[in-house]
Structure 1
Amino acid sequence: MDKSTIIKNIVKQKQRPHLKFRLKKETELFTDQLFYTLFDAETDVETHLSLLEKQFTELVELACWDQLNYCTKIWNKYVEKLPEILEKLNLDAVAIYENDPASNSIEEVYLAYPGFFAIAIYRLSHEFYKIGLPLIPRLMTEYAHKLTGVDINPGAQIGRSFFIDHATGIVIGETAVIKDNVKIYQGVTLGALSVSKNLKNIKRHPTVEDNVTIYANAIILGGETVIGANSIIGGSAWLTSSVPENSIVYHDPEIKIKNAIHE
């Protein structure tokens, strides 16, 4: 096969689908700028909101969204939500600081905690998800996933004062509901029992009520699964059914210790 034929075949297949990978990179830049605008003391809010609006318009155009003409209106509504989002994120930071004995300052949480960054990008993307903006919310949370190891779908509903410790390996599905003052440790999965495509618009992921603690590597599956308020889910537990409030659930592995010298 000659070179021109190879190129022709590549171009033909490349159009299925037609992708602009610049959208991914530009979304990551937009996400960083949004984070800095809210948290960096040296980033002027007024100036950078104007820059963000321009970036947002370019993203919407790259995403080929049919509501491009309403972009300014959509952006203005989003900006109105930013003070509320920031208030929630400040509560998240306080929850992390107060619940992690290893944290030395609230500044450390904002600057160094991957769990906080993942929560921040989730909250900032969730508002875009709610208005039906294609691709961009998911690209935002996947950017956080790449940097932190935390996979939070932008469609999840997460309440106030959310605490993530260590972060790595956490998965929170699209239809998960997490209420207030919930603490989650590394490796936790809030997932679906089935991944059949016909379940797209059906609640597939668990509900976690107020004041629940879920320890490392616990797996909780199913849209009808509810973890009752004030419950503690121990490490490595596997749950596919509901738990009443004030429960303690734990995994009880059989551990044997032998003295190697006398073997």
Structure 2
Amino acid sequence: MADSRDDARAPNLSDLTWPEAETLSRAGALLAVPVGSTEQHGPHLPLSTDTDIAVALCDWLARHRRGVVVAPPLAYGSSGEHDGFAGTLSIGQEALEHVLVELVRSATRAFAHVLLVSAHGGNADTVRRAVARLRGESRDVRAFMPSWDGEPHAGRAETALQLALAPHRVHEDRAEPGDTRPLKAIWPLLTTRGVRAVSANGVLGDPTGATAAEGRALLDRLTADLLRESAAWYPVPADADFAGRAPAEAGR
């Protein structure tokens, strides 16, 4: 992910004044909305892990593509499968769909193009339904949901990603295996009784041995996927003028 612009702050909607936001929206800027969750990620990762990943992907996109503005993250999702673990805050599928639909309806009054970047697997079906409803209203919205092979929750991959993003927030000394069976073996119990029924510590997989280097390699792939998909959907107009709030200067 190394790049001459890596140290520049991404243009964040919350840093802008309304005239600055208007200038960018009129120039055709893309609004990227991180969608995550607040839910348990084992004894070693923060509750914000999914949101952290979504924010990191949106920030990277904004630093490497002209005309992207990052909205404040939606840090609550559909996390009912993690009930029983302290700190999990879930709003459920129906509420999440309603929030996403109303949020994008509001956003598209100014920003014609909205990208939802959702990094919590439990949000996936709801995000798809919301996008379908919104596109049925002729709103130009897409969703990007990063995925990877391997352990599904708080295992090696998510631990590596968090080590790459914020190593000081990972309690490596507390990392321990959870239920390491294949997902298909535990799926019936997982979907009816939740994660607690199959894993006392909330981990599905084995996070021990994860490294920041693995996380950076995975981030490289995910960000390349995001850049490619966003460019295929909405290429930056050749004549776009975002000088009203240059990406490398926003929020400084």
Above 0.5 in TM-score?
no
TM range (shorter): under 0.3
- Tell me the TM-score normalized by structure 1: 0.26
Which structure has the highest strand share of the two? 1
- Tell me the TM-score normalized by structure 2: 0.27
